[in-house]
Chains A and B, each alone.
Chain A
Amino acid sequence: KAGVTQTPRYLIKTRGQQVTLSCSPISGHRSVSWYQQTPGQGLQFLFEYFSETQRNKGNFPGRFSGRQFSNSRSEMNVSTLELGDSALYLCASSLDLAGGTDTQYFGPGTRLTVL
């Protein structure tokens, strides 16, 4: 079974631009979560989607948004990019059959550099 895939793997943008990252979960997984990883802050939770609805959200500004499609694929968008948005953005998927906590499997990440 294929793992979580993320595209693109690398991105370079300039301040003020916006960016869209894509994530395809493991087949059959219904929950998709997004995380930001930086050397200074470590891994931080952005948001989680289930059945096309944002079910949970971390402590990030409104410039960070996401959505999930009917096939469970997810995208996240960052508008008005700032230098501090440079990070590895990770997507994770899980089965979430019972609606409770479940193991999350991560993709390789998208490395975003903001100049």
Chain B
Amino acid sequence: GESVGLHLPTLSVQEGDNSIINCAYSNSASDYFIWYKQESGKGPQFIIDIRSNMDKRQGQRVTVLLNKTVKHLSLQIAATQPGDSAVYFCAETGQLQGDMRFGAGTRLTVKP
């Protein structure tokens, strides 16, 4: 079946470095993509989103890149801080509101 981001890799970076978290999706009909951050014991927190008519969107210290040709999504975090340590999920959805499909997540650890 369709899926998003099949594995849970880990990424360890030094404080102050830039982080890049990647995600692959398989549903070419998906038109809305979101990155969420989940800290231990909390629900996912919205970080940034992008629609399929864009290939890049920037927020505060974060940038999302969408490559529809290879069905790849990435999240870039600039000047990573210890508070950025969490599991990051990419999610995608198509025409059906609420049917959001999540990747397995990437655990980001920031070393001081």
Contact = CB atoms under 8 A, between A and B. Distances in A.
Given A96-B97, A101-B31, A43 B43 contact: no
Interface stretch (B9-17, B63-71, B100-108): B100-108
A35 B44 CA distance: 11
A36 B44 CA distance: 12
Contacts of B105: 42
Given A42-B102, A101-B32, A108 B42 contact: yes
B6 to A, nearest CB: 10
Contacts of A104: 34, 46, 98, 100
Contacts of A55: 97-98
Interface in A8-46: 31, 33, 35, 42-45
Nearest to A9: B41
Interface string B90-101: 010111111111
A56 interface: yes
Range class of the B interface residue count: 20 to 34
Given A101-B31, A103-B34, A48 B102 contact: no
A107 B102 contact: no
A55 B43 CA distance: 23
Interface in A70-115: 90, 92, 94, 96, 99-109
B96 A106 contact: no
Contact of B97 (A31, A58, A105, A107): A31
Interface of A: 4, 31, 33, 35, 42-45, 47-48, 50, 55-56, 58, 90, 92, 94, 96, 99-109
- Nearest 8 pairs of A and B residues by beta carbon: A48-B98, A106-B43, A43-B102, A33-B98, A101-B32, A106-B44, A56-B98, A108-B43
Interface of B: 31-32, 34, 36, 41-46, 49, 89, 91, 93-105
15 contacts: A4-B43, A42-B104, A43-B102, A44-B102, A45-B101, A50-B98, A56-B97, A94-B97, A102-B97, A103-B49, A104-B46, A104-B98, A106-B43, A106-B45, A109-B42
